[in-house]
Amino acid sequence: MMVIRKIFLAAFLEVLLEKLESGVLEKFARQEGLGAELNKLSETLRIIQAMIGDAEEKQISDGAVKKWLEDLNDLAYHLDDLLDEFATEALRRKLMNKEPAHASTSKVWKVLIPTCCTSFPTPSAFMFDRRMRSTIEVITARLQEIVKQKNDMGLKEVTGGSRVRERLPTTTSLVDKARVYGRENDKSAIVELLQRRGGSTSDETVSVIPIVGMGGVGKTTLAQLVYDDDTMKDLFDMKAWVCVSDDFDVFGVTKTIFEKLTDQIYDFKDVDKLQVKLKEILSGKKFFFVLDDIWNENLQQWDLLRRPFLAGAPGSKIICTTRNEGVAKVMSSIPAVPTYRLRKLSHDECRSLFAQYALGSINFDAHLNLKEVGDNIVKKCNGLPLAAMTLGGILRNELAEKKWEAILHSEIWELPRGKSNILPALRPSYFHLPAHLKQCFAYCSIFSKDYEVDKDELISVWMATGLLQLNEEKMGLEDFGKECFDDLL
């Protein structure tokens, strides 16, 4: 539960900063002479936000850091209440200054808002400003005290969230085929797509084949199997593998492709010169690229990256692996090449993979005493190769049934640190969510395991707890909630 609480806090701080720096609140604060106070509050909050990643790493084993996070969590809710009061007061004053649209409504308007309240400043407004200023000073002082405590606990500021977004090692094109199960049909299907002539029109040079699936389902492994297939040598003149990951840097990806195709180190920093050189190399050549682990949904960046590719010969292909359907839509501009959605492994396939890592065999025949508990662990893996490999690896050479039982009943954050890649693999999916979706997702942790969530009820609760914040009134709050639900689904 502490992990979920910390995740909620990280998202909560983002939302608080968005509220603090919103145009409406800033305008109201300036009018009331509180702009400097809110700016100071925002600056302090950003310093604390930069330390959340480091605190995450240490709070499991350090009680002081755990208490630090709990104090921060409590203060964050006080700040949220304060900002809600600001928003309510700003709306109240806006309504009081608003003239009725029709004369027939003026009597009703006077009943709702007494005449004595329509001129400023009023005693109530004066008391509000005084109370808000005092509350801001108290919260800012407490936040600054929290900042000071970072030195005592050795917390460091991590700009850009690099510690929080720690990822698995960079992928390569090499694959251990002996430890891959259940991907023969998937490989054949992708190879067949690669063998097709091209896109939907004769002037389309390069086709993009997106492989989409959740974290740990084996997208990279499938791409490796295809990349390593002997058929590729006959189909294409040249090929390159690029692990893109978090940072979709057009220059960096272009540079990697250029260096792999030429076996030369490119020392210049001029993206135009680099792309011209790559275009010359690809001119008239039929190529095959794998862009592994794509997160970028920016169409302009993808359009810039692909320009040198257009010089290649018809039938050139690019495989991109991604968890995000939106990425697939951006990169796949060829409707004739559909997105390939990678399925999970069957129970038998997952069991063979797990047994291979745990026992060096494809079954439990030599260790029948572990068969039942092993089968239950495999069910827990739910067809995800990464889970089967990780849990099998943790139990490697462990033949005590009690050890296996402990793994069966553990949660992913309770697995031995340094031996489990499951949580690090899942984290990026969470961290790439916008702040409002992080809050909505983290809220679901209050439901018990296997609880059947009703969509309309959940959206209503999100609305009631203030998790849905509309920056623009282009849709109703309920419609926005439905959009958030669908995005998370």
Confidence of residue 326 (pLDDT cuts 50, 70, 90): confident
Report the range of poorest mean pLDDT among 107-121, 130-144, 326-340: 107-121
Q: Where are the domains of the chain?
A: 2-161, 177-341, 347-420, 426-488
Across the range 272-283, mean pLDDT stands at: 94
User: Are residues 51 and 154 in contact, defined by beta-carbon separation less than 8 angstroms?
Assistant: no
Cβ-based neighbours of 170, under 8 Å, separated by 6 or more: 243, 245
80 vs 472: which has the higher pLDDT: 80
Average pLDDT for the chain:
82
Across the range 359-370, mean pLDDT stands at: 92
Burial label for 317, CB within 10 Å (0-12, 13-18, 19+), is buried
How far from 73 is each of 45, 94, 143, 164, 185, CA to CA, in Å?
Answer: 12, 32, 11, 18, 49
Token output for 153: 């606990």
Assess whether pLDDT exceeds 90 at residue 138: no
User: Are residues 14 and 49 in contact, defined by beta-carbon separation less than 8 angstroms?
Assistant: yes
d(CA 333, CA 140): 50
Identify whether 100 is preceded by a cis peptide bond (ω within 30 of 0): no
d(CA 330, CA 303): 9
- Tens digit of pLDDT for each residue in 24-37? 777 777 777 777 88
Assess whether pLDDT exceeds 60 at residue 417: yes
Report the range of poorest mean pLDDT among 71-85, 134-148, 420-434: 420-434
pLDDT at 395: 94
Assess whether pLDDT exceeds 90 at residue 403: yes
Burial label for 76, CB within 10 Å (0-12, 13-18, 19+), is buried
How far from 448 is each of 430, 435, 444, 445, 452, CA to CA, in Å?
Answer: 20, 23, 9, 7, 9
Confidence of residue 288 (pLDDT cuts 50, 70, 90): very high
Name which of 197, 51, 79 is nearest 136 in CA terms: 79
- Tens digit of pLDDT for each residue in 232-273? 999 999 999 999 987 788 999 999 999 999 998 888 788 999
Q: What percent of the chain has pLDDT over 90?
A: 40
What pTM, to 2 d.p., does this model score? 0.71
pLDDT at 39: 84
pLDDT at 158: 60
Rounded to whole angstroms, the maximal C-alpha distance in the chain is 89
Across the range 275-300, mean pLDDT stands at: 93
User: Are residues 353 and 344 in contact, defined by beta-carbon separation less than 8 angstroms?
Assistant: no
pLDDT at 353: 96
Confidence of residue 198 (pLDDT cuts 50, 70, 90): low
Check the CA dihedral 292-296-299-302 and report its sign: negative
DSSP for residue 212: E
Burial label for 319, CB within 10 Å (0-12, 13-18, 19+), is buried
Across the range 146-163, mean pLDDT stands at: 68
Across the range 420-430, mean pLDDT stands at: 80
pLDDT at 141: 87
Rounding to the nearest 10 degrees, give the CA dihedral for residues 221, 222, 225, 226: -140
Burial label for 412, CB within 10 Å (0-12, 13-18, 19+), is middle
pLDDT at 191: 94
User: Are residues 139 and 27 in contact, defined by beta-carbon separation less than 8 angstroms?
Assistant: no
79 vs 320: which has the higher pLDDT: 320
Check the CA dihedral 390-392-393-398 and report its sign: positive
Report the range of poorest mean pLDDT among 6-20, 58-72, 272-286, 454-468: 6-20
pLDDT at 365: 92
The three-class DSSP label of residue 316 is strand
pLDDT at 160: 46
Across the range 76-94, mean pLDDT stands at: 81
**CATH number for domain 177-341, candidates 3.40.1280.10, 3.40.1190.20, 2.40.50.180, 3.40.50.300:** 3.40.50.300
